[in-house]
Amino acid sequence: MGSVIFRRLLLMIPTLWVIGTLTFFMMRLAPGGPFLAEREIPEAAREQLEKKYGLDQPLHVQYLRFLSNAVRLDFGPSYRFSQKQVIDIIRESFPVSLELGAWALLVALVFGVPIGVLAALKQNQMWDFASMGIALIGVSVPNFVLGPLLVLVFSLTFYFLPPALWTGPQSRILPVLTLSAIYLAYIARLTRAGMLEVLRQDFIRTAYAKGLPQRVVVLKHALKLGILPVVSFLGPAAARIVTGSIVIESIFAIPGLGSHLIQGAFNRDYTVVMGVVIFYALFLLLLNLLVDVAYTWLDPRVELQ
């Protein structure tokens, strides 16, 4: 296991290099620049700014400097907010995105797994049809539609919850529900499918034949294998939840890392965009590795290759 994890960590290096290289040249090829605005600044001032940040140098020199700094996770200052380093922006805003994603994933698991288990135990009954129908709606409605609808109902109609910002427990409810809805639906459907497959196996029939109560059979024997599809889904789901919070942060005006990425892309803030993209890539690669290890721990028949 240790050697496999070490090899996976080594493979992250070329992956991060490819992602960083593509991001660097795509940002440079995009029209506009970090010092272009609606009101043009004097040519001399613009040249002085480009010299200050090294943008007057040849592209290959800028690229090599970017690589040497990225190895040390030093992305330099933001072009938009020169008094702030990119790593400081990430350090301040990523905990907000991480908290939002963690709450959304927790809500999806806490409600999605029991719904899927009950649907499998009551296959082709009313609960099964109702829960899977609602799950299908959850999968079909995108979060950029669900978010404004929740704001319209709970904030602007009944005045139950604040419509935006990240200031207290109540302000977290709507963005967390919006972000978790689609993943709750996926987890419920995957749990149902996994449990149906396990409940038909011989060792489950043997457990029932021994007189074990249904609660023990389901929780102790069936759930450990039936939840494996959910574990496989958790890696990509957690990745999409954290990166997908970009839309939620824009809808609810949450000061997370995703909002800085959007602003950096609009403002052509090269250092912010490259820093955030590489940080997200590193985080997601480590997260997928942890999920693979957890999958192997849950099912010893699976070996990491």
Q: What is the pTM of this model?
A: 0.79
Residue 186: enclosing H or E segment and its boundaries? helix 169-199
Is the pLDDT at 52 greater than 60? The verdict is yes
Residue 285 falls inside a structural domain: no
d(CA 232, CA 294): 9
Residue 105 falls inside a structural domain: yes
The CATH number linked to 159 is 1.10.3720.10
Residue 151 falls inside a structural domain: yes
Residue 75 falls inside a structural domain: no
Is the pLDDT at 174 greater than 90? The verdict is yes
Q: Which pLDDT score, from 0 to 100, does residue 302 have? A: 56
CB-based contact 288:99 (threshold 8 Å)? no
Q: Which pLDDT score, from 0 to 100, does residue 208 have? A: 83
Say which range, 132-136, 150-154, 258-262, has the weakest mean pLDDT: 258-262
Query: pLDDT category, 210, cuts 50, 70, 90?
Result: confident
CA 299 to chain centre: 25
pLDDT > 90 fraction of the chain, expressed in percent and rounded? 24
Is the pLDDT at 20 greater than 70? The verdict is yes
* Residue 93 token pair: 């805003």
Query: pLDDT category, 301, cuts 50, 70, 90?
Result: low
Query: pLDDT category, 173, cuts 50, 70, 90?
Result: very high
Is the pLDDT at 187 greater than 90? The verdict is yes
Q: What's the mean pLDDT in 112-141?
A: 89
Coil/strand/helix, residue 78: coil
CA 126 to chain centre: 33
Higher pLDDT, residue 136 or 42? 136
The residues near 289 (Cβ < 8 Å, ≥ 6 apart) are 5, 8, 9
Q: What's the mean pLDDT in 159-183?
A: 89
d(CA 202, CA 224): 15
Q: Which pLDDT score, from 0 to 100, does residue 230 have? A: 87
Residue 5 falls inside a structural domain: no
For the chain, what is the domain count?
A: 1
Let me know the angle formed at the C-alpha of 260 by 258 and 262, rounded to the nearest 5 degrees.
70
**Residue 140 belongs to domain spanning:** 96-256
Residue 207 falls inside a structural domain: yes
Residue 283 falls inside a structural domain: no
Is the pLDDT at 106 greater than 90? The verdict is yes
Q: DSSP strand E in 100-213: where?
A: none
Whole-number mean pLDDT of the chain?
85
Q: Which pLDDT score, from 0 to 100, does residue 154 have? A: 92
CB-based contact 105:237 (threshold 8 Å)? yes
Is the pLDDT at 303 greater than 60? The verdict is no
Residue 150 falls inside a structural domain: yes
